[in-house]
Amino acid sequence: MTVSPPAGPLVVTVVGPTATGKSDLALELALALGGEVVNADALQLYRGMDIGTAKLAPDERRGVPHHLLDVLDPAQEASVADYQRWARAAIDDCHARGRRVVAAGGSGLYVRALLDHMEFPGTDAQVRAGLEDRVEAEGSRALHDELARLDPEAAAAIGPRNARRIVRALEVIALTGRPYSSALPQHVYEVPAVQIGLDCDRALLDERIAARTDRMYDAGLVEEVERLVAHGWGRTAARAVGYAEAVGLLRGELTPDEARAATSAGTRRLARKQMGWFGRDPRVHWLDAQDPDLVARALALVARADRGELGPATDDPAPRRSLGS
């Protein structure tokens, strides 16, 4: 899929783990820069998935237009290729009207699709079904061993329990005759951007996650899930952190306390995965999410980037914390 890079100023992109305040910072930057926000969170695409995704309500957006929120029904499934097409069109629209784009989200693959060149090999239902049958019969580890023989780089990036991605990698290899890793994005911008990462001390982030989990349940997450179940929803929505646990509560499989604890634990695991993903991108400039001067520091980064003065992120004087410790 060939997409021409949008003509316009650098896209300001706010990334990092969940519960670090990406949406709030993106809003402040958009207000300061005369910009509009483009969503890069896979679950915030869905209508009705508001509380569990920490989506800013319309009255919290302070008049700033937000793109790619509430564009899908929960029963629909969106591909990364779909998202790339929609997001690039939103950027083109903003730039055509002279508006700055601030993108924000924690879905790493969506951010890469927004900014970088990505290929989207086709699919084959029969090949995929055969691989999925093999997962059931042989286990995901056996297929991961096969992937390691065919494409060691892809196998190193995909865990042996991630059956969905293992199947996809083997499907692409079978269809194209090329390594799956050759289709993965490289750290080269197709859409010129400056990426700002929000970092947070692990213990503090865990506290923020626990507090946000309580706010979600207190705000009516279970009732939100009841409405979604009643209208029907797809696999992606039903498996999301918070939503899956609320379903367990509704089914009587979890107590309220167990559901909250499981949601917090799942969100902590998600945050570690997100930091691993974004932490591998050397172009991300990391800021402390708790810094009282966060907005000013972020705007200073944008100004330096606009002037061409911002060097490699690996040269930043204040390295990011590690969420793995």
Has 75 been labeled as part of a binding site? no
Has 140 been labeled as part of a binding site? no
Tell me which amino acid residue 50 is.
Answer: D
Has 79 been labeled as part of a binding site? no
Query: Of 224, 227, 214, 226, whose CA–CA distance to 256 is shortest?
Result: 214
CB 116 within 8 A of CB 192: no
Has 255 been labeled as part of a binding site? no
Has 17 been labeled as part of a binding site? yes
| Rounded Cα distance, 38 and 191, in Å | 14
Handedness of CA 60, 65, 66, 72 (dihedral sign): positive
Q: Are strands 35-39 and 284-288 parallel, antiparallel or unpaired?
A: unpaired
Has 18 been labeled as part of a binding site? yes
Has 53 been labeled as part of a binding site? no
Has 52 been labeled as part of a binding site? no
Binding site feature residues for ATP: 16-23
**Annotated binding site for substrate, which residues?**
18-23
Question: What residues are designated binding site?
Answer: 16-23
